[in-house]
Amino acid sequence: MTEEIAVASPRLVCASPAQLEAVLAKFTGRILGVLAYAATRPEWPAGEVPCTWVTLPVLTGEAWYEVWVSTRAVAVSRDSGLSFSHDGGLLFGSLVLGDADAGQIDRKAFAAYSAIFDVLDRMGYPELLRVWNYFPDINGADRGMERYREFNVGRYEAFCRKGRAIGDGMVPAACALGTRQGTLVVCFLAGRAPGIYIENPRQTNAYLYPSDFGPRSPTFSRGVLVGDALLVSGTASIVGSKTMHPGDVLRQLDETLENLRVVVAQARARGFATSDPAGLSLNVYLRHATDYPVVRGRLDAEFGGARIAFLQADVCRTDLLVEIEAFWMPIP
């Protein structure tokens, strides 16, 4: 059992621009991929390492790099427009589709997820574990429907058409945020074996949301255990399926933190044992940059020792002001 966990667990190293070169050198041959968050195109590492730029302002002022690392040697590949690396147990990749601000985001979501599922099946990594979704004008409207709801339609249809079941213990952890770029960016982690998918008893499972939230519910779980790593989905001030405390960022933050605590507790009941706060990383998405000082003060007090990125982004509901995703695993 110990050997399986060692093989199947990703690792995450966060880096500033000044630290990136040293991090990449340290983990040469074991890097699954790099997510770079910055308002303008950042510096890219040389070589074949798959890198994906997400156009979001970093509220501390400089680019933020997430370097996803394997415990094994990796191979780098491209297929059907996807860039990815794989290690025999995990596959990490990305797909970027242009003109995502030109309407019909449902078709682009369907195309992206269909391509991802096809490649995963061909490569022998059928279990989609975690997904990051970024596209422009997430709260805008196309053809009379909010673009996030349109996106959910396309994502759902891809799951169905490609034979993926939607239900308890079957859907990946995920986030979906609005960016300033004109592309749909989908990054993903997949495995040869399924993870342990986590739900939150305080919240309605997202794939069971009522029709008030669109013709197709969002297709994600609240978190996933991948070996000894816990990957928590974008988490916000939602109880049941209802937004709590509209207009009050600090009360929303407190509700969000309670939801995070519950997800971690559920994961511990399923075997998650990591406790070192230095292995915890948070991405904090704020709708309004002016909320950064008070939110940072609260989170610095709550999570001493954790690595925290503060990013300005549109959250998937217009009445949500803050969303947090968490990654907690041993330090590589």
Three-class HEC string of 160-179 = HHCCCCCCCCCCCEEEEEEE
Start-to-end Cα distance in the chain: 19
Could you say which DSSP state residue 122 is in?
A: H
> Alpha helix locations (H) across 104-243?
105-123, 147-161
The Cα-based distances of 85 to 60, 95, 312, 327 in angstroms read 30, 13, 28, 20
Q: How many residues does the chain have?
A: 332
Closest CA to 120 of 98, 99, 95: 95
Instruction: Give the residue numbers marked as catalytic.
Output: 323
Q: Name, in order, each residue with C-beta under 8 angstroms of 46's C-beta and a sequence gap of 6 or more.
A: none
Closest CA to 307 of 271, 273, 283: 283
Distance CA 156, CA 249 (A): 31
